Chain A
Amino acid sequence: MKGSVYQLKGVSYTYEGSGAPALDMGELSIRGGEVTVFTGPNGSGKSTLLALLSLDITPTKGELLLFGERPVPSRHRRRIGILDQHPYLFDTTVRANVEWGLRARKMVDGMDGQVGEVLDALGLSSYAERRARKLSGGEMQRVALARTLVLNPDILLLDEPTAHVDASSRERIESIVMEWVSREGGTAIVTTHDLALAHRLGGSAYRLQDGRASQTGVDNVFMGHFVGGVGGLFDTGHIKINVAGKRLGEAVTLRAEEVILSTHHLESSVRNNLYGVITDVSLGDGGLLMVTVDCGERIVASITPSGWADLGVSVGERVYVSFKASALRVIE
C-alpha cells in the first residue's frame, strides 16, 4: 500500500489536567508499505503517539487522517494490528489465543490453515497446544505477533516489540515484520528506544523528544564492539571509530549534521577522518541534502545546498569524511 497511510495535520494531544501537550506532532505523513520508526527516551511521547495511531484517543488539537479520511474507530480498528511491549495473552492455549481474533470477527472459514501457517512462520507449531502464559517472554511475544498477523491487518503498530525478548525471538520477530512489509505491502510503525533496532528495520526514522518528532533520529548507526572491551575505539568490522568517553555498548550513533565533508584531508583536532565514495544524494528535512558516503560503512552527512555546491563534487567521486569523537553516542 503506497502513499500516505496516516496524515497528521497539526496534531497535538494534552492529557486532562496537564498544561503541556504530551505530543505535538505538527505536520507528518506516514507512508504505506514500509517501516517507520519512532525512537526516543521514556516520556518522549511514544505511547501517546501509539494510542493516537491505534485510535484509542483522539487529538485534542488538529486532525488525524487514516487512509485519507477521518477514522471511525469501530470500522478502522479492524485494519490495525497492535503488538504491545508486554502483550496480554489469554489464559488458554497458544492456538486458542491465535484463533481468538478470527473467531471474534467470524473469519472461521479456513481458520485451521491460516493459524497453522502463521504458527509455523513464527516457529510456534510445536507450542500450539501449550498454555500461552507458561511460555518465555520471547515466545509470548511471538504468540502475540501471530495473533495479530493472522487477522491480516494493513497496519501493524509495534511498541518496543523486542525490548524484553531473547536474541532468537528478536531476530525472528524482526525478520517476520520485515517480510510482512515487503511481501504483503504492510505498513509497520515501530516505537523503540533501541536505535540499533531502528537501524536494522530501516525505513523512515523519526526521533521523538518532548512530544515533538524530527526526522534526524538515526542517520548513522554502527554496530560492532569496543576494541579490547574498553571505551575509546569502536570496531564495526569495516572501520574503526574513535569515541569519546568510557561507555561501552554494541552500537554507536552519529547525527548527520555532525559529519563534515571535504575534498582535502582536514588538519584539525577532529579524531575521525575517513575517505570514501559518494553513493547517493537526496533531499532531506528543511531543504538540507543528505549525502551518503561509503567509507567501508555508509555514512550519511547533511549539508546545505550551497555547501554542496562549494564542495564541487558529485556521486561517484571521493571525499573526506570527518566527525568528532564527542559527536558519537554509545547505545548499550
Chain B
Amino acid sequence: MTDPLALDPVLPARERSQLPFNDAALDHDERYRHFEEHVTGGGKVEATDWMPDEYRTQVLRFVEMHANSELMGVLPEREWIMRAPTLRRKLALTAKVQDEVGHAQLLYRVAEDLGKPREAMIQDLLAGKTKFHNVFHYPTKSWADIGIIAWLVDAAAIVAQQALRDSSYAPYARTMRKICWEESVHIMHGRDVVVTMVTGTPAQRASIQEALDRWWGPLMQMHGPRSDRSKDRDIHWKIKAKTSEELRQEFLGIYVPRIWELGLTLPDPNLGLDPATGEWRYTEPDWNELRRVVTNHGPKSEERLQFRRDNWAATQWVRDAILAAPRAAA
C-alpha cells in the first residue's frame, strides 16, 4: 500500500498555520524574511499570527493615532449639539458623535490586541505623548463649521480610510470596512447642511463661505507633506496603500468640483487642475502650522485635552464599578 504521506500534496498549502513565519522552529531572521515576503506579496496578517516587532509597533502606532483622532474628533462637534438649529439636525449630530466615539472603541480594540492596554493609550493621549489629527485642534465658530467638518473633514478622512480597507493587517482592514460605511452617512449629513445654508439667506451663505475659507488650510494639511514612497514604512508593510499626496489629489479631484458647483470659492488663487499632468496644482500648505498643531500647540489643543482629562476623572467611578463589582449570582 502507498504511504499517504509519500504522495505529493495536491491542494495548495495556504493554510494559515502553514505560513512559514508562524513556524517557531525557524530563527528570527528567517521568520522575518518569510513574513516580509508574505506581506509585500499582498498577504494578510491576523492578530494570532507571529509578526516582527517592527510591524507590530508600526501598525499599533498607526491604529492608535487613528483611534485618538476619532475620540478627540467629537469634541469640536459636541460643542454644537445643544445649539443645533432643528431637532432633526440635533439627532443627526448626536448620532454622528456617537458613531465617532464608537469608531474609537473599535480601533482601540484593534490596538489592544497588538499588546497596548487601552488605559495606557488613554494615559498617553492625555499626557500629550501620542497625537491626534490636526483638524481637531481648531475651534468651531459657527453652525456652518459643523457642515464643513461633516462634509469635508470626513470626506478627506474617508479618502484615506477607503485605502485602508485593504490594509495588510486584516483586523484593521475589516474594521475600516465598517467605519467607512458609517462615515458615508456623515458626509451626506454634512453636505446637506452646507447645501441647505448655501441656498438659504445671504447671511447663511456668507457663513458657509467664511467657514470654508477658515478650514481650507487645515484640510490641505490634513494628509501631511509629500513623502518618498520608497522610504515610507507604512507603505512598505502595506499597512496603508497610498501616499499623502495621492490622497490629497484624490480628495481635490472629487470635492473641489462639488464645492465650486455650489458657487463657493476656495482661498487659494493657485488651485486648479493642470490639464497637462491631470494633477491638481495648489499653493504649498503651511507645514509649520501642521507641525505646531499636531504637537498640541493648536488653538484648542490644550482645552480639548483638558476636557478629556476632566472627563476621564469624572468617569473613574464607572470604570471602578465595572471592574470592582462582584459577580451577582445569575
A binds B: no
